[in-house]
Amino acid sequence: MMSLEGRRVLVTGGSRGIGAAIVAALVREGAHVALHYGQSRGAAERVAAELDGAPVLLAANLAQAGAGTTLVERAEEVLGGLDGVVNNAGIFAPAPPTAPWTTWAQVWQETLQVNLVAAADITRAALPTFQRQHRGTLVYIASRAAFRGDDPEYLAYAASKGGMVALAKSVARGYGRDGVVAMTVAPGFVATEMAQQVAVEKGTAAIVADIPLGEMAQPADVAAAVAFLLSDAARHLNGATLDVNGGSYVR
């Protein structure tokens, strides 16, 4: 049974796209959700309004060092504890090796900070609570790029997601005995604003041509996988990655 009734879960980057779909799926399954957003207060409020105000809204700029730690502390306070975290927040910015050094350096720093370092800080902050209650689930939203790589413009993005997969596997191996489980979801192209950015550059037809199913995944497809991983039914998937890419990369 996949019920998440009463589970207290923090979802980062929950105001739009995949994150908003995850928040909606968890609320429908009975979870108490803290929806983190960066700058999109209005978008976060719209997600909450569609769910009768069920998620609690928490703002944090994960590009700032230490913000992830404070975010976990606030989530525990407003939810009355914590049973799960979905590390979904991320940025997708181009910086080919031919870009000016200042652009290259800035994109790498910001991408690694938001996509990987903040997720690590959040993990570190949540672990003591999970160990103390001998129960806790960490789900990381990575990408197929972690396994097959990405185009030269997005080296930083692929590297950050590869690091996230390694982080999840290490947590799974290191803390399973404490009742803590960690898994990863690796989407391919999902019909979100982020995918639209690439579609403008390459064309939708070129993207879809690489997907055997002939269509991009929907945010709800990723959300369903996340809801399953947060449930007790998925505990023995500890350390695993679920690929949600329509067969565009098969491992």
Residues in Cβ contact with 136 at an 8 Å cutoff, skipping those fewer than 6 apart: 82, 83, 84, 85, 126, 127, 129, 130, 179, 180, 181
Decide if 37 is catalytic: no
- CA–CA dist 46, 94 (Å, integer): 29
Q: Are 158 and 143 in contact (CB under 8 A)?
A: yes
Of residues 37, 140, 157, 175, which has the active-site annotation? 157
What phi and psi values does residue 176 have, to the nearest 5 degrees?
-60, -40
DSSP state of 247: T
Residues in Cβ contact with 116 at an 8 Å cutoff, skipping those fewer than 6 apart: 160, 163, 164, 167
DSSP state of 19: H
Q: Are strands 136-141 and 180-187 parallel, antiparallel or unpaired?
A: parallel
Q: Are 3 and 231 in contact (CB under 8 A)?
A: yes
Q: What DSSP string describes 46-61? A: HHHHHTTT-SEEEE--
User: Which residues are catalytically annotated?
Assistant: 157
